[in-house]
Structure 1
Amino acid sequence: MAYINRQQLFEQVEYPLRYKPGNLVKASVVLFSIAFFFLLLFEPFGVYRPEQKFNYLIICGLHALSPTLIFYIYFSALNYSRKRNAASETSSWTMFQEYAHIAVILLLVGIASFLMRDFIYDNPYNWSLRYFWEEIRNCYLVGCLVYILLTFANFYFRSKSNSAQALLFPISRDTENTAEAITEIFIKTQVKQDDFSFIATQLLFAKAEGNYVELTLCSNSSVTTELKRISLKQFESQIAAHPFFFRCHRAYLVNMAQIEKVTGNSQGYLLSFNGTADKVPVSRAQLNSFNGLYQQLRVA
Structure 2
Amino acid sequence: MEALFFGFFVFFFLIIFQPFGTYNFEHEHKALLLMVYGVIACSVHFLLRTSVYWKWSGAWSLKQEVLLLLISLLLSAVLSFVYNQFVFNGHFDLLHFPAFFLMVLSVYVFPLLAILWSRFAVLPSRGMATVATTRELTEQPAAPVVVLLKGANKEEEYQFRQDQILFLKSEGNYVKVVYRQDAKLRSVMLRATLKQVQEQLPDSFVQVHRSYLVNLSHFVAHRTVGGKYELVSEISPERIPVSNSYRPQIQNKLQNFTHISSQN
Question: Based on CA coordinates, which of the two structures has the bigger radius of gyration?
Answer: 2
RCO comparison, higher one (Cα < 8 Å, 6+): 1
**Both structures adopt the same fold (TM-score exceeding 0.5):** no
Q: TM-score range by the shorter chain?
A: 0.3 to 0.5
Q: TM-score, normalised by structure 1?
A: 0.39
